[in-house]
Amino acid sequence: MLTVILHTMRRFRGQIIGWGIGLALYAAFLSSFYDTIAKQSEQFEKLLQNYPQEIFAFFGGTTNLVTPEGYLTLEFFSYMPIIIGIFAVLAGSGLLASDEENGTMDLVLAHPISRSGLFLGRLLALLVATMAILAVNWLGFLVAMNWSSLDIGLVEMARPFLSLFAILMLFGSLALFLSMVLPSRRSAAMISGVLMVASFFITSLARLDKSLEDIARLSPMNYYQSGEAIKVLNNDWFLGLLAAAGVFVLASWWLFQRRDIRVGGEGGWRLPSFTSRLRFGPFPKTRAT
């Protein structure tokens, strides 16, 4: 299984470097720009008072740009589930289905490794790759804060990344599950992405319209803390998101164990008996001999 993990990590190498370093540089820019906000805090507060509340609803619901947690919520963490969520959804949907569509899954399973070993190895590689991207972002903030007045401790800075990790794992595991159910990786990634964006909008709109609060409770994004986790991490929300991700992982593993592996291309909806009944009518009964 270690070989599977290392091989999959090599496949994720480009994504780790690209997403990690790119967002770390952005984090460094935000840290340096905070000094400008802090020096002109009164002017920025007056300016923000003139902004419509609808704008802030889509960026974590905070209007306090002067505090570290408010600034990072508005400028970074509020939309990171969508940004890095692109990686999580694409990686999760293609974790196993991409090899089927490429025609290499049957060759992989011809080696002396069980389906469970392959599944677990790929899954652990996805977890490590996601943590690596977030760790590089975390280090980007810590390094940049040495030249900034943005003063946040090591542990405090890690808390919002833990909340971000949980929500990414939820949608990544959802994409993995859908890749076991739907005909193709493309359809699994598309539906997972739509659900992720819909969850973001429902949670944001619920901050404006109280009648949507009941619906928002069913939205995973409602339990993502964003930059507010700097002050304190809600362990119930964090563990709840991971538990939901675990359910999708277990369902995906169960389906993969019983899956008829494709030898290439995209699959179908697998409704042969239903379509046969529609075309030819009920199956004839066999006579006893």
Q: pLDDT value at position 173?
A: 97
268 falls within a domain: no
280 falls within a domain: no
Residue range 20-34, pLDDT digits in tens:
999 999 988 888 888
169 falls within a domain: yes
54 falls within a domain: yes
Full 3-state SS string of 34-93: HHHHHHCHHHHHHHHHCCCHHHHHCCCCCCCCCCHHHHHHHHHHCCHHHHHHHHHHHHHH
288 falls within a domain: no
The domain tally of the chain equals 1
223 falls within a domain: yes
Mean pLDDT by 10 residues, the chain (289 residues): 87 92 91 75 62 59 71 88 95 91 84 90 95 95 87 92 97 96 92 95 83 88 91 95 97 91 65 47 46
Q: pLDDT value at position 59?
A: 60
Domain region containing 40: 2-263
Task: Please tell me the pTM assigned to this model.
Answer: 0.86
Burial classification of residue 253, based on how many CB atoms lie within 10 Å of its CB (0-12 exposed, 13-18 middle, 19 or more buried): middle
17 falls within a domain: yes
CA 140 to chain centre: 20
Q: pLDDT value at position 89?
A: 96
